[in-house]
Amino acid sequence: MQPQADTSISPVRWGIISAANIGVKAVAPAVRASANGKLVAVASRDTQRAASLYSFAPEVRFYTDYEQIIQDPAIEAIYIPLPNSLHAEWTIKALEAGKHVLCEKPLAVTQQEARKIVDAARASDRLLMEAFMYRFHPQTRWVLAQIKMGLIGPVRQVRASFAFDIRAHPENIRLNAELAGGSLMDVGCYPVNLCRAVFGEAPRSVAARVYRHSALSVEVATNAVLDFGEGRFGLIDASFETPARQGAEIIGEQGIITIPVPFTPGIRETTVFIMKNGQINEQNFERVDQYQLEVEHFARCIRSAQEPAFRLNETLENMATIEAIYASAGLDWPIL
Ligand SMILES: NC(=O)c1ccc[n+]([C@@H]2O[C@H](COP(=O)([O-])OP(=O)(O)OC[C@H]3O[C@@H](n4cnc5c(N)ncnc54)[C@H](OP(=O)(O)O)[C@@H]3O)[C@@H](O)[C@H]2O)c1
């Protein structure tokens, strides 16, 4: 992954489906700031609301339905930040309309649905990537590179957490089973992703528990052990009922890497701690917009016809792990 954008190529023309919060706050500004992209249009069920949210982007055109934006010949790449249950439908439609698609995580609700989307991407000859932005941050790339080079020896355990308190927002899409909410789907997918990235393969089996209130249709807490074989484990947790909290610890036979902010490091400067031979060293990372690095990478892949660095086989394996965690915990999935 190269963080630099090539300014000699014509910018990729982007459209966004929905006026979702993550689009408004992070990805649309990232596209506008990117060196190789241009934000052209947004489609929303409520264009008045969308226009007011997008007042920072006066160049943007608005469409009242999602079908129109994917048929717009002026648009090359579509970003999809819809509720999880709608990712498959609109990603496949956009691919079939000849667009490249950056779809929010998790790509699908089930492994089978993810497979259908990936098959559609391969048949369309267009690029598809699941939007795990933290994979483009220099901190993540540095940690994964150091592990590969053996800085802490063979990795035995990855512990990773991601949680926040959603209780004041009962209307949120994350608490809606029909929209495929749940703490594992929303934030737990990041620790799952990190474990897979560190070990370089999918877990062989999982054992898990989730917690679901009688009043809610989705789970609000997940804890799981991911068994990568030969004494290598991932321990992950996610919650919607604790203060905002994230962290990761990668435990090797010769050292330990601690990442206090593994998934949203772009907000401020961050530090990774390396404990080795009885000493603690620090590696510092400057503030950087990881969404911008993500969209610039995707646009560069479009222009150079290269497969994105975050690959679809990894997406498929992570979807399989999410499903296996729910199965192990005895949760019927999907809950529709
Ligand atoms: N990578 C990240 O950092 C990150 C961060 C947050 C969220 N996400 C992901 O991004 C996606 C969106 O999350 P968000 O919090 O931004 O969502 P959100 O603010 O709730 O927006 C979702 C949008 O989807 C559209 N929509 C279409 N059908 C809908 C329905 N039946 N119910 C509700 N909304 C519907 C609405 O747009 P219109 O009314 O304008 O059509 C709505 O504004 C999720 O997949 C989530 O996992 C990723």
Q: What pLDDT digit, counting tens, does each position of 39-48 carry? A: 999 999 999 9
Give Cα 143 distance to the centre of its chain.
Answer: 18
Supply angle C-alpha 137, 262, 38, rounded to 5.
Answer: 30
Q: Which helix (H) or strand (E) holds 208?
A: strand 205-211
Least confident of 6-15, 63-72, 256-265: 6-15
Mean pLDDT of 307-319: 97
Distance 46 CA to ligand 1 centre (A): 13
Q: What is the pLDDT of residue 3?
A: 47
Three-state secondary structure call for residue 10? coil
Pocket of ligand 1 (CB under 6 A): 18-22, 44-46, 50, 81-84, 86, 104-105, 131, 133, 173, 179, 186
Distance 22 CA to ligand 1 centre (A): 7
Distance 48 CA to ligand 1 centre (A): 17
Q: What is the pLDDT of residue 336?
A: 66
> Is the predicted pLDDT of residue 2 greater than 90, yes or no?
no
User: Three-state SS across 76-138?
Assistant: CEEEECCCHHHHHHHHHHHHHCCCEEEECCCCCCCHHHHHHHHHHHHHHCCCEEECCHHHHCH
Distance 228 CA to ligand 1 centre (A): 33
Question: pLDDT digit string (tens) for 124-159?
Answer: 999 999 999 999 999 999 999 999 999 999 999 999
**28 Cβ partners below 8 Å, 6+ apart?**
16, 39, 42, 54, 57
Taken in order 46, 49, 50, 51, the sign of the CA dihedral is: positive
At 335, the pLDDT band (50, 70, 90 cuts) reads confident
Q: What is the pLDDT of residue 8?
A: 61
Question: pLDDT digit string (tens) for 155-187?
Answer: 999 999 999 999 999 999 999 999 999 999 999
Looking at the CA of residue 189, tell me the nearest atom of ligand 1. Answer: 47
**201 Cβ partners below 8 Å, 6+ apart?**
228, 317
**325 Cβ partners below 8 Å, 6+ apart?**
184, 188, 192, 206, 208, 210, 222, 224
Supply angle C-alpha 299, 82, 216, rounded to 5.
Answer: 145
Q: Which residues of 295-326 are buried (b: 16+ CB within 10 A; e: fewer)?
A: bbbbbbbbbeeeebbbebebbbbbbbbbbbbb
Q: What is the pLDDT of residue 7?
A: 52
At 266, the pLDDT band (50, 70, 90 cuts) reads confident
Question: pLDDT digit string (tens) for 226-264?
Answer: 999 999 999 999 999 999 999 999 999 999 999 999 999
**pTM of the predicted model as reported, rounded to 2 decimal places:** 0.97
Looking at the CA of residue 133, tell me the nearest atom of ligand 1. Answer: 1
Domains detected in the chain: 12-133+292-305 (3.40.50.720), 138-287+318-328 (3.30.360.10)
> Is the predicted pLDDT of residue 79 greater than 50, yes or no?
yes
Mean pLDDT of 88-112: 98
Q: What is the pLDDT of residue 213?
A: 87
- Tell which one of 18, 42, 174 to mutate to probe ligand 1, the residue whose CB is within 8 A of the most ligand atoms: 18
Q: List the structure tokens of 25.
A: 């706050």
The proportion of the chain whose per-residue pLDDT surpasses 70, expressed as a percent, equals 97
